[in-house]
Amino acid sequence: MPKPAAHAFADTLAQFKLAAGKSGQFFSLPKLAQTHPNVARMPISMRIVLESVLRNCDGKKVTAEHVEQLANWKPNAARVDEIPFVVARVVLQ
């Protein structure tokens, strides 16, 4: 995971506690939804893609603009942009 100061969306990082006093961080979509209200109404599958794009935002392969484009996704809008998607975790149900 990138260092918070280097990440364009470091303000979306949230903490969680683990056993033995350790802690971890994750990118919180509810925090992102505070500045991008469409996120709260996205289908689950789009939120999974958004979380991956947000987590992998490195300013090179995945840019802040890619995250913004996906966070502002509208279901009936014309599709003109490609979003890089890094597959890391997939849950099949």
HEC string of the chain equals CCCHHHCCCHHHEEEEECHHHCEEEEECHHHHHCCCHHHHHCCHHHHHHHHHHHHCCCCCCCCHHHHHHHHCCCCCCCCCCCCCCCCCCCCCC
CA distances from 33 to 19, 29, 42 (A): 29, 6, 10
| pLDDT (0 to 100) of residue 91 | 60
Determine the pLDDT at residue 90.
60
Range in 15-24, 66-75, 76-85 the model is least confident about: 76-85
**pTM, entire model:** 0.79
Amino acid in position 77: A
Amino acid 7: pLDDT: 82
> What pLDDT score was predicted for residue 85?
80
Q: What is the pLDDT of residue 4?
A: 46
> What is the chain's mean pLDDT, rounded?
86
Residue type, 43: P
Tens of pLDDT, residues 41-70? 999 989 999 999 999 999 999 999 999 999
Domain ranges of the chain: 4-71
